[in-house]
Amino acid sequence: MRKFLFAVILGLTIISLNANIAQAAVFNFSPADPDLGDLAHEYYYTWGINWSIPSGEKITGATLTYYNIYDWTTEYNDRLYTHLLDNPSTGTVSNWDNQNGGDNFSGRGYLVGTWTDNAGGSARNFNLVYDFAALDYWMN
């Protein structure tokens, strides 16, 4: 569970500014394989979305959610690094790193957060949620 860039759901809240009427729309994005093969430890992942903000609308909120995330065991060096990258390939891409440790995207993009499963073992229905409005980073 070391070096992964991936989220099961990216939710965007959009406000339409057309005709002086504020309306909210929610867009949800999910990779084709929502669990990415259980996030194998020997790989790191990117997930790129090719989408444009509809004309006249503005992003007012965004969350990135890993649903029911857990690690099968507790290991001192297991880390999930989540970055926002400027130009990842569209879709999901996995790259072999043979568990070499560290953050494959260190110094690239914005580090959203680092997570580790201190309990390990089995699913506990825990959702890891990053709310971009609460972070120091925001896209205009």
pLDDT digits (tens, 9 = 90+) for 23-59: 678 888 888 888 777 788 888 889 999 888 888 888 8
Residue 46 in any domain: the answer is yes
Q: pTM of whole model > 0.75? A: yes
Give CA separation, 39 vs 2, 53, 78, 96, 125, in Å: 9, 29, 12, 12, 17
Contacts of residue 9, Cβ cutoff 8 Å, sequence gap at least 6: 28, 29, 30, 63, 64, 65, 67
Question: Is residue 55 in a domain?
Answer: yes
63 lies in a domain? yes
Summarised one tens digit per residue, pLDDT across range 5-20 is 333 455 555 555 555 5
Domain-located, residue 103: yes
Task: Provide the residue range defining the domain that includes 96.
Answer: 9-134
Question: Could you report the per-residue pLDDT of 81-136, keeping only the tens digit for each?
Answer: 999 998 899 999 988 888 777 888 999 999 999 998 888 788 888 999 999 888 76
126 within 8 A of 68, measured Cβ to Cβ: yes
The answer to the question of residue 97 being in a domain is yes
Domain total for the chain? Answer: 1
